[in-house]
Amino acid sequence: MANPYEVWNTRRSLGVMRDVEPAFTYWTDIGFSRSLTSTDEWVDFEKLPAVARKLAPFVRPLGSGKPLYDDRSTGFRFKPAYVKPKDVIDPLMPLTKRAGIDRSMIEPSQITPMQRRDLIRTAMTITHVQAIERRWEWMAARAIIDAKVTIEGEEYPSVELDFRRQGNLTVVKTVDYWGDTGVSIFSDIQTWADRMFNAPFGGFPTRMTVGSKVWAVMRMDKEFMEHMDTNIRNPRATIERGLIGADKVVKVGELAVGGASGAVIEIFLYRDTYVDEAGIETPFMASTDIVMTASDERIMGYQCFGAIIDPSAQYQPVPIYPRNWQEIGDPIVEYIMHQSAPLFVPLNANATFKATVVPE
């Protein structure tokens, strides 16, 4: 007979983790379809020069050839942060009816204390995994929106990782806001899209994500209405004119890209939030901002995971490593913990753009 007091081994913990409902992702989906692991404390990248625009030099038919190949590269090194949610299952927890675990708080119990203990482990696993995945999404958001991320915590000194986005790809308007008389939203978008396209390792935007205050201005903009006029051949804009639902992300329109390519810039209204360490609900993205992004292939974002600094994990770079153990004493105390060493890196940060376009 199996020992009824056994803690979960790694295989069983991973099995429970596989059944956890994934956290909501948006920024991760935009640019981080790739993953990279490192058994070192560091994650290293190397960028080859963009040579596709070089012209072959002219020479006389019998003249000497000219060197063109350049094998120089730019190196980047990042050290992943570490997250480690850990909770205790104290000896009395399995004896107390718990909301979400017991069928009713007033009817006779339908489960035994040991069954309740297993359900408590499951509930803690769900909480830990979703919190870690939410942290991943926060890191992806900061990497795309700000092209930098500040890592800090009670036991972690503040460190800023800058992904080196070109300076003119971050704009903060102090005058000529969208919605002001004489300001063309289309002209701004075209100017900024051209900057992205011309930047080293940049790309033309395929998506524009807007905050709620920006959307309130865009949907009433006269220039947008003109571009939606069906009396004009091939209207160049389509935006939602009706009520918007309460979803975190809603596609609200498209901008057609010229050249008969059929390409469009999709417009999404974004209103997702997270709860920070102080318990304050905070928006991932300011309601006054827009973010333009090129395709995932242009951004080349990587979900990086460093080694788990734990001998029981054999120092392997798994995305999330679960651990469940007991400290033998009087009384016995049980712990459950999940560890991750994540870093989300957009190799081509110039394929992203952010602007503050309306006042607070």
- Measured at the CA of 234, the angle between CA 233 and CA 240, to 5 degrees, comes to 120
**Which phi and psi (to 5°) does residue 276 adopt?**
-80, -175
**CB-based burial label for 177 (10 Å; 0-12, 13-18, 19+):** middle
- Per-residue confidence (pLDDT) for residue 248, from 0 to 100: 93
- Per-residue confidence (pLDDT) for residue 223, from 0 to 100: 87
Q: Please list the ranges in the chain whose pLDDT falls under 70.
A: 1-22, 45-76, 95, 97-109, 228-235, 259-261
Find residue 281's DSSP bridge partners: 275
pLDDT, tens digit, 9 for 90 and up, residues 114-141 = 888 888 888 888 888 889 999 999 999 9
The CA distance from 276 to 286, in Å, is 15
| 258-283 exposure pattern, b = at least 16 Cβ within 10 A, e = fewer | eeeeeebbebbbbbbebeeeeeeeee
Superfamily assignment of 176-300+349-356 in CATH?
Answer: capsid protein of prophage domain (3.30.1930.10)
Six-digit token pair at 131? 């919190």
Closest to 329 (Cα-Cα) out of 3, 88, 12: 88
Closest to 208 (Cα-Cα) out of 355, 25, 348: 355
- Per-residue confidence (pLDDT) for residue 2, from 0 to 100: 44
Find residue 355's DSSP bridge partners: 171, 290
Residues of the chain with CATH 3.30.1930.10: 176-300+349-356
Superfamily assignment of 10-47+74-160+302-346 in CATH?
Answer: putative capsid protein of prophage domain like (3.15.30.10)
Largest CA-CA distance found in the chain, in angstroms, rounded: 98
- Per-residue confidence (pLDDT) for residue 209, from 0 to 100: 98
Give every strand in the sheet of 86-89, ordered side by side.
86-89, 333-339, 321-327
Q: Using H for helix, E for strand and C for coil, what is the string for the chain?
A: CCCCCCCCCHHHHHHHHHCCCCCCCCHHHHHCCEEEECCCCCEEEEECCCCCCCCCCCCCCCCCCCCCCCCCCEEEEECCCCECCEEEECCCHHHCCCCCCCCCCCCCCCCCHHHHHHHHHHHHHHHHHHHHHHHHHHHHHHHHHCCEEEEEECCEEEEEEECCCCHHHEEECCCCCCCCCCCCHHHHHHHHHHHHHHCCCCCCCCEEEECHHHHHHHCCCHHHHHHCCCCCCCCCEEECCCCCCCCCEEEEEEEECCCCCCCEEEEEEECCEEECCCCCEEECCCCCEEEEECCHHHHCEEEEECCCCCHHHCCCCCCCEEEEEEECCCCCEEEEEEEECEEEEECCHHHEEEEECCCC
The CA distance from 99 to 78, in Å, is 42
